[in-house]
Amino acid sequence: MSVKELVEKSDFIIEAACPDVAKAIIPKILQCHKQALILSVGGVIQIKNLERLLQKSRGCIYIPSGAIAGVDALLACKGASIKRVRITTRKPVRSLLGAPFMKKAKNELNKIRKTTLIFEGTAEQAVRYFPQNINVAATLSLAGVGSKRTLVRIYTSPTYRFNSHEIEIEGDFGRIHSKVTNIPSEENPKTSALAIGSAIATLGKIFSRLKVGT
């Protein structure tokens, strides 16, 4: 069975593979007018004609907030002038192993002995270099000012045991500052346990008659 046939026969799709899969399957989902929950959000912002696909489709793509706090607040700010959105992520060294950005610097990663800034750039760059690690930056991009204007910093240290995400939003509305410290998933240390809970909560919201939140 082809991917398109699988999509056509599905009532609801849940993607939990990787950004490349999300990027490939979302156009098919929208062309078939289906609904889907997408967890590999980095793949969403890489679809160049996404807006046109959405406009032509009766389907719907759901994006959970994931392992961060503040998405509802950022969405509420869209009517105002947003001047800056920045996320600072801190991750244990082991969770970054295998990331494309780190492959050439694997030996350097093993030599890290103190808190080190290993990446600073845009969300667009971050999801390309860290496809399994920084979905939260892609989610912020979709909720706010886009992947080219959403700023990302990634720190690592041998002393870090948890993933943390600190979000700063500034605009005409004032300032928003949130920080979440997450326990990594036991099954997949590259993601957070809270991200799994967020996906479950989003599913519940989709099918609930009472929808809380922006």
**CATH assignment at residue 158:** 3.30.360.10
Domain end call among 38, 62, 86: 62
Q: Say yes or no: 78 and 129 in one domain.
A: yes
Residues marked active site are found at 165
What range defines the domain where residue 54 resides?
3-62
Say how far apart CA 42 and CA 115 lie, in whole Å.
26
48 and 81 in a single domain? The answer is no
What are the distances in angstroms from CA 185 to CA 5, 34, 99, 143? 32, 29, 17, 25
What is the per-residue pLDDT across 178-194, written as a single tens digit (0 to 9) for each? 999 998 778 877 678 89
- pLDDT tens track for 101-154: 987 666 677 889 999 999 999 999 999 999 988 999 999 999 999 999 999 999
- Are 46 and 118 within one domain? no
CA 214 – CA 211 distance, rounded (Å): 9
Shortest CA distance to 119 belongs to which of 109, 111, 22? 109
**Would residue 203 count as lying in a domain?**
no
Q: How many independent structural domains does the chain possess?
A: 2
Q: Taking the model in full, what pTM does it have?
A: 0.92
